[in-house]
């Protein structure tokens, strides 16, 4: 697993914890930060994603609603919703992160932690979000 993939998995777990426990993203990150043993670069990536989720969570969710028209956020599994939120937050908050890499790694995280259909679902939703947010990269 690459260092960035590890950071993205941590960001996903923070988003999942916030979703399931009803904590804020910053609070969820605060409870996990010391146990994750991340490098400075990994910490920066996770903290950037958490900052976007905390400050612009409504924008992240709106992008997801627009891309998953027939799937309200409440109907998605917590795993899929958390993978999607962390990936969209990175697309919004880290313009230097290559779009295809963000999508590919989110799909792999969804396959690892989600259901049999999670990878395909996350791929479809993120593809639509990426076309809306970063059309020049696709």
Q: Which domain holds residue 72?
A: 3-137
User: Total domain count for the chain?
Assistant: 1
Q: What is the pLDDT of residues 16-67, one digit of tens each?
A: 999 999 999 999 999 999 999 999 999 999 999 999 999 999 999 999 999 9
What average pLDDT score do residues 97-112 get? 98
Q: What is the model's pTM?
A: 0.97
**CATH for 107:** 1.10.940.10
Q: Euclidean distance between the first and final Cα of the chain, in Å?
A: 25
Give the single-character DSSP code of 114: S
For residue 100, give every residue at least 6 positions away whose Cβ sits within 8 Å of its Cβ, in sequence order, or none. Answer: 137, 138
Q: What is the pLDDT of residues 63-90, one digit of tens each?
A: 999 999 899 999 999 999 999 999 999 9
DSSP string, 27-92: HHHHHHHHHH---HHHHHHHHHHHHHHHHHHHHHHHHHHHH-TTS-GGGS-HHHHHHHHHHHHHHH
pLDDT at residue 1 in the model: 84
CA geometry: angle at 123 spanning 105 and 12, to 5°?
A: 45
């Amino acid at each position: 697993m690459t260092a960035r993939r590890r950071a993205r998995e941590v960001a996903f777990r923070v988003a999942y914890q916030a979703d399931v426990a009803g904590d804020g993203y910053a609070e969820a990150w605060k409870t996990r930060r010391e146990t994750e043993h991340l490098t400075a670069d990994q910490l920066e990536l996770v903290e950037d994603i958490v900052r976007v989720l905390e400050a612009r969570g409504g924008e992240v969710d709106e992008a997801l609603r627009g891309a998953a028209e027939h799937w309200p956020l409440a109907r998605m599994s917590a795993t899929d919703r958390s993978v999607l939120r962390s990936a969209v937050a990175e697309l919004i908050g880290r313009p230097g992160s290559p779009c295809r890499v963000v999508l590919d790694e989110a799909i792999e995280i969804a396959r690892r932690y989600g259901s049999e259909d999670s990878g395909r679902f996350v791929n479809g939703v993120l593809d639509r979000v990426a076309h809306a947010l970063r059309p020049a990269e696709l």
